[in-house]
Amino acid sequence: MKDFNHSVTHYFKQEAEQSIHYLSIDCVVFGFHEGRIRVLLLRWKGTSEWSLPGGFIRKAESVDAAAVRILRERTGLQQIFLQQFHIFGDAVRYNQEDTWQRIGLPVDLSKWSERTISLGYYALVEYAEVTPRPDLLTDACDWWSLEDLPNLLFDHNRIIAVALENLRRQLPYQPVSHLLPETFTMPELQRLYETILGRPLDARNFYKKVQASGILQRTDERRKGTPYKSPYLYRFDPGVYPEVVREGSLSFP
């Protein structure tokens, strides 16, 4: 325990020296598994309180690089699709006293800085490729389904809501391919779109529109081991999909 106190103190001292004050990054890592959108959360050591992964920006590091570094440490992924979506810059973002109490850290974080401006990023990652890893301050890193999130620390419930709202609005411009494995079935892709948009889509019309857009290649294989009729496996066409994303030309009104 004394060791822990010492390393936490050391961590914040080091961050204070090499990182930019008043500024932090919070990352909403979106994954997709069993028909649900998931986000990666961390549980703070010795508590049952959860928060988003985040961190600070080194003085000579680009903001995007900082977000990549933070998520690499949390997920083990080398390549990560990231999108900045909002600046959370209110002078008072949450009840600080209450938060410090819930975290119960040995160091007084209120001295770290009076307020923090947070740059919100969301990531789209392939659920199965992630190996969640907690950091120094946390002892668990797990996927949570969007529908049953706990009451998070800081203003992180709001950050997730804003991230989802942004993802929804900009869906035609976002490479959702990152949320799926190399090959996947058409119903899986439809489920993904339905979950993000929050409303059902007509299967027939979805098939037609997706096929007309040309973003998919149908493989000769079918998904085995499932009950009922085995669906074809598709992959994104790397010669077509990026262009469709850039133009934002695949949308579901």
Interacting residues toward DNA by CB under 7 A: 185-187, 202-205, 207-209, 222, 225-232, 252-253
Cβ neighbours for 250, distance < 8 A, ≥ 6 positions apart: 172, 209, 210, 213, 215, 244
Q: Strand, helix or coil at 132?
A: coil
Among 87, 128, 136, 203, binds its own copies (CB under 8 A): 87
- Residue 119: contacted member of DNA, its own copies, none (CB under 5 to 8 Å, by partner type): its own copies
CB of 210 to DNA, least distance (A): 10
Of its own copies, DNA, none, which one sits near residue 204, judging by CB under 5 to 8 A according to partner kind?
DNA
Least separation, in Å, of the C-beta of 2 and its own copies? 34
Residue placing its CB nearer to its own copies in the complex, 19 or 47: 19
In the complex with DNA, the residue whose CB is nearer, 165 or 202, is 202
Sign (positive/negative) of CA torsion 105, 108, 110, 113? negative
* Beta carbons within 8 Å of 179's beta carbon, 6+ residues apart: 30, 31, 32, 124, 125, 126, 127, 192
Which listed residue (89, 106, 200, 239) binds its own copies by CB under 8 A? 89
Token output for 92: 């008072």
Which residues, 35 to 64, sit near its own copies by CB under 8 A? 57, 59-64
114 interacts with its own copies by CB under 8 A: yes
Of 116, 106, 110, which is closest to residue 137 (Cα–Cα)? 106
* Spatial distance between the Cα atoms of 237 and 234, rounded to a whole number of angstroms: 9
109 binds, among DNA, its own copies, none (CB under 5 to 8 A by kind): none
Least distance (Å) between residue 203 CB and DNA: 6
CB of 22 to its own copies, least distance (A): 5
Nearest CB to its own copies, comparing residues 8 and 63:
63
Using the rule CB under 8 A, which residue among 13, 169, 208, 246 binds its own copies?
Answer: 169
Q: Which two tokens stand for residue 131?
A: 């190996």
What is the rounded end-to-end Cα distance, in angstroms, of the chain? 56
- Residue 61 binds which entry of DNA, its own copies, none, CB below 5-8 Å type-dependent: its own copies
- DSSP for 209-227, please give it: HHHHHT-EEEEEEE--S-S
Closer residue to its own copies in complex, CB, 20/149: 20
Q: Does 20 bind its own copies (CB under 8 A)?
A: yes
> Closest distance between DNA and the C-beta of residue 251, in Å?
7
Residue 137: strand, helix, or coil: coil
Question: Residue 118 — φ and ψ, nearest 5°?
Answer: -115, 135
Q: Are 146 and 51 in contact (CB under 8 A)?
A: no
Sequence-ordered alpha helix ranges (H) in 106-202: 156-169, 186-197
Binding interface with its own copies (CB under 8 A)? 20-23, 57, 59-65, 84, 86-87, 89-91, 114-115, 117, 119, 169-170, 173, 248
